[in-house]
Structure 1
Amino acid sequence: MKLLLTSGGITNTSISDALVDLLGQPIADSTALCIPTALWGNRRGPVSVPDVLHGRAWGGMTSLEWKSLGVLELTALPTIGEDCWVPWVREADVLLVAGGEATYLCHWMRESGLADLLPWLIDTVWVGVSAGSMVLTPRVGEEYVGWPSAPDDRTLGVVDFCIFPHLDVFPENTLAEAERWSAGIEGPAYALDDQSAITVKGNTVDVVSEGRWKLLK
């Protein structure tokens, strides 16, 4: 897969250009599936309908002018069979993965079978917002575990670095807190504000930013 791991979504021209580069074609020629599953695990109350319809829940990703845009709800997939949903995923150019609760999303990626399919999606672009990005890292840190049934803070480990999202966006998301968080996480870790993202294409990892970010270690 080709990855665009964002903190806040498609928030500026640099991140938008990175998306087009990963797609290898205009957004208007690309088909997308959005995955809202992580939203249901954050236990903060019902998701706002306007937020979903206008793309705010996906950091503006669903508001882009896609050729087609569908919804892939992971909690429903075990009830419909792989012969139904696997072709949908294989045919999509991009998966747009909403933020919310990363360990809940990780659970349902495994339970649904989507996690097992990822290695075969060579040309597919994964675009994550917050937890939708963090789920591909090895760990999220205990601070980001909000789902009571999560066994621990481990996630899928598709990439070998961790992400501290929303740097400076919330009062508690300071650089000092990011550095404290990273001390309990093995391996490389990045702090990203909502104007920053990480691209992964093959073995190449790059930061795209019009804001503030830091490689913590």
Structure 2
Amino acid sequence: MDKDDAMKLLLTSGGVSNQSIRDALADMLGKPIEEATALCVPTAMYGMYPRTAVMTWRQIAGQTSTPMVELGWKSVGMLELTALPSIGADNWVPLVRETDALLVCGGDVLYLDHWMRKSGLAELLPSLTETVYVGLSAGSMVMAPHVGEEFVGWKPSGGGDSALGMVDFSIFPHLDNPMCPENTMADAEKWAERVPVPGYALDDESAITVVDGTIAVVSEGHWRHFEG
């Protein structure tokens, strides 16, 4: 994306999990969250079925520990990427263009990458200069050039770990989360040695904002930047 004319990105590890991240989101929206509209994109969850079946519903319903849908939006709709190729762009592109925020949920990052491309959403994203893209875990990681072999689950036909490359860094999420014992700082250091671009390890109280090409970390927890 052109740095001077691109959509605003809020790339989180654990959703809008604290007041600092929430304030950053409201600032990017240019209005209170309660006055903004959103579309929830749950597609990445399907790449981890069947174990994410219940979590997919909870994410859409706003009943999670990783706040996205449950922030008090004026309205929330659902944008299911796997359905888009069958309904025609005129049925969903105007809806996306008029929405204030896209809430892109976690799950399998390369499965999400596949459907963002196949649905046409990836091609549309650079033109959404008034939209705030809010990523959660895989929804954040998919914007990177590479995700790292540690995060390859669902495998694309061409192999590899490449994602959309709409930013020039990669993300290691859920740093030191007790539910993710393989996501320690030592694991992040090994990941960073293999990923061919700069990277950020984020805990679930941290996020990255990208606005007009300027990258900043918003955190009430801990994080680390790797030069690459």
Per the normalisation by structure 2, the TM-score is: 0.92
Q: Does 1:23 align with 2:2?
A: no
* Worse-superposed segment, 204-213 or 60-69: 60-69
Q: Against the structure 1 CA distance between its residues 153 and 31, is the aligned structure 2 distance closer, same or farther, given a 3 Å change threshold?
A: same
Q: Determine the structure 2 residue equivalent to 1:104.
A: 111
Aligned-partner residue type, residue 206 of structure 2: S
Identify which range, 38-47 or 4-13, moves more after superposition.
38-47
CA distance in 1: counterparts of 2:60 and 2:93, whole angstroms: 24
Q: 2:98 aligns with which of 71, 75, 91?
A: 91
CA drift at 1:52 = 3.7
Q: Answer whether contact 1:12 1:210 (CA < 8 A) is retained.
A: yes
Matches within 5 A, 1:117-196: 117-149=124-156, 151-169=159-177, 170-196=180-206
**Who is 2:3 aligned against?**
none
SS in structure 2 opposite 1:28?
helix
Unaligned runs of 5+ in 1: none
Instruction: Sort the Cα spacing of 1:201 and 1:51 in 2 relative to 1 into closer, same or farther, 3 A.
Output: closer
Match of 1:6 among 3, 9, 12: 12
Is residue 74 of structure 1 aligned with residue 81 of structure 2? yes
Partner of 2:220: 210
Structure 1 SS opposite 2:92: helix
Letter in 1 for 2:168: D
Q: Which moved more, 1:127-136 or 1:35-44?
A: 35-44
SS at match of 1:56: coil
RMSD: 1.2
Separation in 1, partners of 2:127, 2:59: 32
2:41 is equivalent to residue 53 of structure 1: no
1:14 corresponds to which letter in structure 2? S
Aligned 8 A contact 2:40 2:60 in 1: no
Deviations 1:98-136 (A, max 9, x none): 000010000001100001101110010000000000000
Structure 1 residues 50 and 161: alpha-carbon distance in aligned structure 2, compared to 1, 3 A threshold: closer
Unmatched runs of 5 consecutive residues or more in structure 2: 1-6
For these two proteins, the number of residue pairs brought into alignment is 216
CA contact (8 A) 1:98 1:131 kept: yes
- Contact 2:97–2:128 (CA under 8 A) maintained in structure 1: yes
Distance 1:168 1:51, change over 3 A: same
User: Judging changes above 3 Å, is the alpha-carbon distance between structure 1 residues 78 and 165 closer, same or farther for their aligned structure 2 residues?
Assistant: same
SS of the counterpart of 1:111?
A: helix
Q: Percent identity?
A: 58
Q: Answer with 150-159 or 121-130: which moved more.
A: 150-159
Residue-by-residue CA offset, 1:62-98 (whole Å, 9 max, x unaligned): 0111111000000000010001100010000000000
Runs of 4+ aligned structure 1 residues displaced above 4 Å come to: none
Question: Could you tell me which amino acid in structure 1 is paired with residue 120 of structure 2?
Answer: G
Aligned counterpart, 1:197: 207
SS in 1 for 2:122: helix
